[in-house]
Amino acid sequence: MSHQIKDPSLATQRVRLWLQMLKAVRSVESNLRERLRNEHDMTLPRFDVMATLCAHPDGLRMTELSEQLVVSNGNVTGIIEKLVEEGLVERQSIQNDRRAHLVKTTEKGRKLMDHVTAEHRGWVDELFEGVSEPDVARAISIMLDIRHHTSR
Amino acid sequence: MSHQIKDPSLATQRVRLWLQMLKAVRSVESNLRERLRNEHDMTLPRFDVMATLCAHPDGLRMTELSEQLVVSNGNVTGIIEKLVEEGLVERQSIQNDRRAHLVKTTEKGRKLMDHVTAEHRGWVDELFEGVSEPDVARAISIMLDIRHHTSR
């Protein structure tokens, strides 16, 4: 179905915004990817998995974890496999459901992420240094509008 | 190197903005990906390659093309290979440089993209319907700030 454009000049500006959003996200992402790799020998998908698990200390089912991830999925099962091997994540069986289990961070995983997340926060603060407090608030509300509208 | 955070509450908001940007981009991207596939049997990386070539009617070297792409790279060489096979893109040798060539859209490719790009513009306009004209302008300028700061 084709959408009827009401205001062509606004439509052009919206396409421009969409391209600038894509470019800004690529740019920040590649900067963060490089720092994570250089300073923590960590990939972005792995950071995403660990950060998501840290935000859910009671653990998540694999399906829930996949839904919550922000970065491109990568191979979530493979990432979890390695994190378990390294003792950063553990599996826990679920009562009354023999086929499913929860994944959650270990003490070691949480300690590592406390450190990495603090650094990550500093990097983002630095990369977004040009964005003032009112602009941050405005931009967050615009991004939420876009998401709510998109997921309808 | 660690960055010194000056204003912790602003840093927290900046991280929040970064996550919301990622989520908004994923959400719009997956919506556009689905429509491109359903209505034009076209992948997002292929659309990106074609749109970039259309924006440079005199053609681009492969290295220039890769630099200009907005969507994740995919296999640019493979995509071009197929587009050439389908008669949507052509290769042109460069005078005085026997090893390099330009890639550019064919007449057929441009006709296809005129149609797809117009639809794409309508989809973006629809997905961004909740974003008013002043918000679009403000958000574009914020995205540019982030990019300029990031690429320094």
**Each residue's pLDDT tens digit, B111-130:** 999 999 999 999 999 999 99
B94 touches chain A (CB under 8 A): no
ipTM above 0.85, yes or no: yes
Residue B149: per-residue pLDDT: 84
Record the tokens describing residue B92, joined without a space.
């042109």
Going from the C-alpha of B76 to that of each of A29, A139, B142, the distances in angstroms are 20, 33, 30
* Structural domains of chain A, with CATH: 15-126 (1.10.10.10)
- Output phi, psi for B35, to 5 deg: -65, -40
Chain B residues in contact with A35 by the CB 8 A cut-off are none
Residue B151: per-residue pLDDT: 73
Say which residue, A79 or B97, is predicted with more confidence.
A79
Residue A36: per-residue pLDDT: 96
Residue A3's SS3 state is: coil
A73 touches chain B (CB under 8 A): no
In terms of phi and psi (left: phi > 0; alpha: psi -120 to 50; beta: otherwise), the region of A87 is left
- Output phi, psi for B130, to 5 deg: -75, -5
Going from the C-alpha of B28 to that of each of A1, B48, B59, B139, the distances in angstroms are 17, 15, 29, 16
Q: B13 and A137: CB-CB below 8 Å?
A: yes
Do A101 and A91 meet the contact criterion of CB atoms below 8 Å apart?
A: yes
**Each residue's pLDDT tens digit, B9-52:** 999 999 999 999 999 999 999 999 999 999 999 999 999 999 99
Q: What is the mean pLDDT of residues A88-104?
A: 88
Residue A152: per-residue pLDDT: 56
Q: A127 and B145: CB-CB below 8 Å?
A: no
Q: pTM of the prediction? A: 0.89
The percent of residues above 90 in pLDDT, for chain A, comes to: 81
A115 touches chain B (CB under 8 A): no
Q: B61: exposed, middle or buried (C-beta count within 10 Å: 0-12, 13-18, 19+)? A: middle
The percent of residues above 90 in pLDDT, for chain B, comes to: 81
Record the tokens describing residue A136, joined without a space.
């941050």
Chain B residues in contact with A127 by the CB 8 A cut-off are 146, 149-150
Alpha carbon distance A123, A100 (integer Å):
37
Q: Where are the beta strands (DSSP E) in A4-94?
A: 60-61, 89-94
**Average pLDDT taken over every residue of chain A:** 92
Nearest CB among B126, B139, B150 relative to A127 is that of B150
- Residue in chain A closest to B40 (alpha carbons) equals A1
Nearest CB among B17, B19, B130 relative to A145 is that of B130
Residue A85: per-residue pLDDT: 97
Do A102 and A72 meet the contact criterion of CB atoms below 8 Å apart?
A: no
B140 min Cα distance to partner chain A (Å): 5
Do A12 and B118 meet the contact criterion of CB atoms below 8 Å apart?
A: no
Do B125 and A139 meet the contact criterion of CB atoms below 8 Å apart?
A: no
A147 min Cα distance to partner chain B (Å): 5
Handedness of CA B83, B86, B87, B92 (dihedral sign): positive
Q: B15 and A145: CB-CB below 8 Å?
A: no
Chain B residues in contact with A128 by the CB 8 A cut-off are 14, 17-18, 146, 149
Residue B1: per-residue pLDDT: 56
B33 touches chain A (CB under 8 A): no
Chain B residues in contact with A74 by the CB 8 A cut-off are none
Query: Does pLDDT of A73 surpass 90?
Result: no
B132 min Cα distance to partner chain A (Å): 8
**pLDDT band with cut points at 50, 70 and 90 for residue A71:** confident
For A50-70, letters b (16+ CB in 10 Å) and e give: bbbbbeeeebbeeeebeeebb
Residue A150: per-residue pLDDT: 81
Chain B residues in contact with A13 by the CB 8 A cut-off are 133, 136-137, 140
